[in-house]
Amino acid sequence: MAEKEQFLARQENPQHALNRVVWIAAIALILVYFFLDPETPGVPRCPVLIFTGWKCPRCGSQRAFHQLLQGNFQQAMSYNLLFIPALVYAGIGWLMENTALGARFPGLKRKVYGFYAILLVLGITISYGIARNLM
Amino acid sequence: MLDQPVPSSAPKTWLAESILATFFCCLPFGIVGIVNAANVESKFRAGDYDGAERASQEARKWTMISFWIGVVGYGLYALFMIGMLFFVATNEGHNF
C-alpha cells in the first residue's frame, strides 16, 4: 500500500500542471509587455479595431499594460480607463477565491463579487464599449 | 431532492478569470464567461444547485478556451516575429 501511495504522490496532478502553465504564461506576458512597446511598428493592434474600426472595451489595453509595467499610471489610464480597475478587481477576486481571504470576508465577497456585482461588471464593460465609440 | 444537502456557498464563478480573459485574449469568450458567472450566482440563489454547477463548468470551459487560444496566438506571433528578425538579419545589406 505504501508503495502505491508513494507512486500516486509522484504522479503529476493535472490541475497543478495547468496552474504551472498559467503562471509561466503570466510571467512571459509581463516580461514581453515590460520591454515591448505595442506602438512599435509591426506589433499587431486589436483584431476588432483592424477589422471593424470599432474600439472595443478592451482596446488600448496592450499599450495600457506596457505603460502600467513601466510605472506610468496616468498614461495607462488614458489608453484604457477600465484596464487598471479591472486588473485590481480581478486580482482581489482571484485572491478571495483561491486564498483564505474569501473565508475571512465572506460578506464582502458576496457583495463585491455576487450576482449584482457581476451584472454591474457586464453593464460597465458594454457601456464603455459604446461610449468610447461615440466620443 | 429534499434530502440533498444544501451547499453553503455557490460554485466557483470564474469571474476573475473571465475578466482577465477579456483583456488579455478574447473579448467575446471573456464576456461569455462573465455571463456564465452571473448565471452561477442567479441559479444558486434560486436554489438550482445543479444548474449553478453546470453554469460554473460552462464558465470554466470558456476560460480554458480563451487561455489556450491566447497561448497559441501569442506563441505563433512570437515565432513570426523571430522569423522576421532572422530574415532581416540574414539579408542585411541586400536591396530588395
A26-69: per-residue pLDDT in tens? 999 999 899 988 888 777 788 778 888 888 898 999 999 999 99
Give which of B34, B51, B28, B57 is closest to A124, Cα–Cα: B34
Confidence class for position A13, pLDDT limits 50, 70, 90: confident
Q: Is B6 domain-assigned?
A: no
Q: How many domains does chain A have?
A: 1
pLDDT at B7: 72
pLDDT at A50: 83
pLDDT at residue B1 tops 70: no
pLDDT at A40: 82
Give CA–CA dist B56/A68, Å, rounded.
Answer: 32
Q: Is A23 domain-assigned?
A: no
CB contact under 8 A, B15 and A118: yes
Which amino acid type is present at position B3? D
Which residue in B has a C-alpha nearest to residue A122's C-alpha? B34
For residue A79 the three cell numbers come to: 489608453
Residue A112 three-state SS: helix
- Nearest-CA distance from A76 to chain B in Å? 14
Give CA–CA dist B74/B78, Å, rounded.
Answer: 6
Q: How many domains does chain B have?
A: 1
Give CA–CA dist B66/B21, Å, rounded.
Answer: 6
Give which of B42, B36, B38, B41 is closest to B57, Cα–Cα: B36
Closest partner residue to A119 (CB to CB) among B22, B23, B38 is B38
For residue A59 the three cell numbers come to: 482596446
Give CA–CA dist A82/A93, Å, rounded.
Answer: 16
Which amino acid type is present at position A21? V
Confidence class for position A11, pLDDT limits 50, 70, 90: low
pLDDT tens digits, one per residue of B37-86: 999 999 999 999 999 999 999 999 999 999 999 899 888 888 887 887 78
pLDDT at residue B3 tops 90: no
Q: Is A30 domain-assigned?
A: no
Q: Is A3 domain-assigned?
A: no
Q: Is A19 domain-assigned?
A: no
Range of the domain at A119: 36-134
pLDDT at A55: 86
pLDDT tens digits, one per residue of A88-135: 999 999 999 888 888 898 888 888 998 999 999 999 999 999 999 887
Residues in chain A: 135
Residue B6 DSSP one-character state: P
C-alpha dihedral sign at A38, A30, A19, A59: negative
C-alpha dihedral sign at B61, A88, B23, A71: negative
pLDDT at residue B94 tops 70: no
Q: Is B4 domain-assigned?
A: no
Residue B11 DSSP one-character state: P
Q: Is A73 domain-assigned?
A: yes
pLDDT at B51: 93
Contact B49, B5 (CB under 8 A): no
Range of the domain at B43: 15-90
For residue A88 the three cell numbers come to: 485590481
A71 torsion bin: left (phi>0), alpha (psi -120 to 50), beta (else): left
CB contact under 8 A, B38 and A118: yes
Contact A84, A68 (CB under 8 A): yes
Q: Is A105 domain-assigned?
A: yes
Contact B21, B30 (CB under 8 A): yes
Closest partner residue to A122 (CB to CB) among B38, B41, B77 is B38
Q: Is A20 domain-assigned?
A: no
